[in-house]
A = this chain, B = another copy of it.
Amino acid sequence: MKKINVGLIGFGTVGSGVVKILHDKKSLISSKIGLEIEVRKICEKDLSFKRNVAVARELFTKNPADIINDPQIDIVIELIGGVNPAKEYISEAIKKGKSIVTANKALLSQHGKELFTLAIDKQKSIYFESSVGAGIPIIKAVREGLVANNFSGVFGIVNGTSNFILSQMSDTDCSFKEALLDAQRKGYAEKDPRLDIDGADSAHKLALLVYLCYGRWVSIDEIYTEGISQISPLDVNFANELGLEIKLLAIAKKESDELEVRVHPTLIPKTHLLASVDGINNAIYVESDLAGDLLFYGPGAGQLSAASAVVSDLVDLSQGIKAGLFRPTLNIIKDKSIKRLRKIDDFESRYYIRFSAVDKPGVLAKISGVLAKFGISIASVTQKEKFRAREVPIVMIVHNAKEKNLRQALSMIDKLNVIKENTVAIRMEEA
């Protein structure tokens, strides 16, 4: 049986998961694909902590060049994360004729254009299934399963940590801080959780989904990004009463010849499929012209889940290498109907707005007067019971409004002397 040799750079959680799967499922994989996939070398500097798979000592090296320069190695798996030196390792490996499997969304979202250009030039492939939604085969589904489709939008829950925190807040009425501590205790959040809760990780993944659906790289700075740390239990409760759920969504939408890219907390109806996505699960919604609206759901994290996707990439590349098959662009082409990214000021959305007002006659008239001035139309309004002695929360849903108009209106409203605290505004998406 033909053997495909693999070199692994990074023997952490996911890396050891890959080795474990290739070991435990060796006969299953080879009887399915008629090939053996063998890990020939592993580069790892820190072997001090214990992994859940035993590996022969002679496979290890501390020098990535031992893998990159090994002419016997067909595929290099990069699982060290971070931009440098991962970028150099991948570039060098491609130049030495290797194909690449990586889970590195931070790297690809920043240098994807350069790396894919290099790969195409050298007739090699970069596979990255595990970089979005862990074991959910979303990249393959879009790239191959929906090969003839154009996409009007792709959006979803792509960060398990944030989703766990928001689920906890919704289920147990706890504060953001309490939910974050709980996530850290359970191992769902890092000690430094910023990448997850600030929306940056979601933005990285959105950049990959945009490349996948539209064949263009957006830089992270071009993605409007808002995290979840400002979400208060008060808003979670009011949302619940309104039949809504707060989720951190990564959203790409085609609006005529513009593409809108944004990551922010979003209110969706409880009947929406995404509203039922709890805990560390991820779900990606794809709006396609032929196959319709599709959803792909599953755990967004986990050693074996991410490793399952890496192994699927390995199998695809191995079969391709055996057959001499080469697909440089991975079925991805540029959607030429998109001329530019939409400016944030031009975003349009329905909004949930919570004002903290004093309990006096005429307050509602003042607020709605300002909104009317900016052409913002009210869909519903509820004045809540008093909160913290003198404040009265007024919760409003407004019809589609331009971001720019809404910001200006709220800034004017927050200057009114009847308003006690900064107004909270959360975007809404329809079912």
Contact = CB atoms under 8 A, between A and B. Distances in A.
A141 B145 contact: yes
A386 B430 CA distance: 40
Given A29-B147, A291-B304, 15 more contacts: A28-B150, A140-B145, A145-B309, A146-B308, A148-B312, A272-B276, A275-B276, A288-B308, A290-B305, A291-B305, A295-B295, A295-B296, A295-B297, A297-B297, A320-B325
Contacts of A114: none
Given A136-B291, A294-B135, A29 B276 contact: no
A299 interface: yes
A271 to B, nearest CB: 6
A293 interface: yes
A307 interface: yes
B277 A311 contact: no
A298 B304 contact: no
Interface in A270-303: 271-273, 275-277, 283, 288-299, 302
Contacts of A373: none
Contact of A32 (B28, B137, B324, B331): B331
Contact of A308 (B136, B149, B320): B149
A174 interface: no
A136 B305 contact: no
A291 B298 contact: yes
A299 B292 contact: yes
A365 interface: no
Interface of A: 21, 25, 28-29, 31-34, 129, 134-137, 140-141, 144-150, 271-273, 275-277, 283, 288-299, 302, 304-305, 307-309, 311-312, 315-316, 319-320, 322-325, 327, 329, 331-333
A298 B298 contact: no
A332 B33 CA distance: 9
Contacts of A304: 289-291
B134 A312 contact: no
Contact of A146 (B291, B299, B312): B312
B319 A325 contact: yes
A297 B298 CA distance: 12
Nearest to A299: B292
Which of A25, A140, A149, A289 neighbours the largest number of chain B CB atoms within 10 Å of its CB?
A149
B297 A294 contact: yes
A283 B283 CA distance: 13
Contacts of A292: 135, 298-299, 302, 305
Nearest to A33: B331
Given A290-B21, A299-B291, A147 B305 contact: no
Contact of A309 (B29, B291, B302): B291
A69 to B, nearest CB: 28
Contacts of A299: 291-293
Q: Lowest 3 CB-CB distances: which A-B pairs, in order?
A: A137-B145, A135-B291, A290-B308
